[in-house]
Amino acid sequence: MTPREREMQRVGFIGVGAMGGPIAARMVERGIPVLAYDRNSEALAEAGRRGCAVASSSREIVDECEIVIACLPTVDICRTVALGPDGVVDGRKVKIYVETSTIGGPAAVEIAEGLAARGIMLIDAPVVGAIMALEAGTLGVLASGPRDAFERVEPMLATFAGRLFHLGDQAGMGQVGKVMSNAVSYACLLSTCEAVAMGMKAGIDMGTTLDIINQGSGANFFSQRVAPNYMLKGRLGGTGTMEIGAKDVKLFIEEAQRLGAGTPVADAISAIQQTVIASGPAGRDTMTYIHYFTDLAGLPRTESKA
């Protein structure tokens, strides 16, 4: 491949943090040249070490790449990056913008409409399965947006997706699928932690409580894949902050309200999340939810070995 051909195929990537960084690195491993940017200099340096070219700003990316992927932590940041000053909307070269962040349906529609006014197509494509699924090759991508734009980016998405869904042309449908999946994920996480704490209170060790759950019909992704590799080993970091999870469940509730669907279970999950977050400190990893339930049971906290 000539330098010119590599430049034409190069994909921009904005947000190379906990999830975006490994995705961008996987694309590079699979032969896709990536130009990356992140406001966090450490995350950006790590992306450079893993083979990405490094940009000085997100504006540089949208001026240099026709296809740009974003993986960002909050709805407000996503709006600013897409539609704010020097955002994607002002890019000289970008034609297709792939939003892998969890932002909810209304925000996806807002971004799609804002970009469409400048001739830029949005592919709303949040991912499901987290970092462990990416590593295992089972990550899901829930895409929606114009079919021709999807077909153009499909080979890039396939470098890191175990399964690709195209949920239609309407922006926001990918977000519906993502918040639906996340609501179930957090129900499994909290119910598993609650059951583990109860079993430990009765005198069963943590590993055996997980084995029992996984032997029965209550087995779930968290109990089978996450808890044994993180919580059980004392690794209480690296899975994302509580605040991001609380945002995701809130987006599910808002989407359900918009559609006229009930959310009694998600309401209960959200209430627990808000209670734990309010107890501080901010920025704790999702794995530390186990502390909330062991505290309720009057048990010593699991110590972090990471």
Q: What is the DSSP string of 76-120?
A: HHHHHHHHSTTSGGG-SS--EEEE-S---HHHHHHHHHHHHTTT-
**Quick one: pLDDT at residue 46?**
98
Measure CA of the first residue to CA of the last residue in the chain; give whole Å: 42
- Name the residue with tokens 């893993």: 50
**Quick one: pLDDT at residue 178?**
96
**Quick one: pLDDT at residue 302?**
85
Q: 3-class SS at 141?
A: strand
Q: What is the mean pLDDT of the segment spanning 166-183?
A: 96
**Quick one: pLDDT at residue 303?**
82
Residue 186 · residue 245 · CB < 8 Å: yes
Domains 3-171 and 179-296 share a fold: no
Is the pLDDT assigned to residue 4 strictly greater than 80? Answer: no
Q: What is the mean pLDDT of the segment spanning 299-306?
A: 84
Q: Which tokens sit at 243?
A: 């605040």
Q: What is the mean pLDDT of the segment spanning 50-68?
A: 98
Give me the CATH topology for the region 179-296.
N-(1-d-carboxylethyl)-l-norvaline Dehydrogenase; domain 2 (1.10.1040)
Q: 3-class SS at 25?
A: helix
pLDDT band at 306 (very low <50, low <70, confident <90, very high): low
CA–CA separation, 155 and 148 (whole Å): 13
Tell me the domain boundaries of the chain. 3-171, 179-296
Quote the Cα angle for 57-59-63, to 5°: 125
pLDDT band at 201 (very low <50, low <70, confident <90, very high): very high
Phi, psi of 124 (to 5 degrees): -80, 110
What's domain 3-171's superfamily in CATH? Answer: NAD(P)-binding Rossmann-like Domain (3.40.50.720)
241 DSSP 8-state letter? B
Instruction: Return the H-helix or E-strand segment holding 13.
Output: strand 11-14
**Quick one: pLDDT at residue 51?**
98
Is the pLDDT assigned to residue 1 strictly greater than 70? Answer: no
Q: Which residues contact 42 (CB under 8 A, 6 or more apart)?
A: none
CA–CA separation, 161 and 15 (whole Å): 18
- Tell me the residue ranges of DSSP E strands in 182-256: none
Is the pLDDT assigned to residue 297 strictly greater than 70? Answer: yes
Task: Give CA separation, 234 vs 58, 91, 212, 238, in Å.
Answer: 37, 45, 19, 12
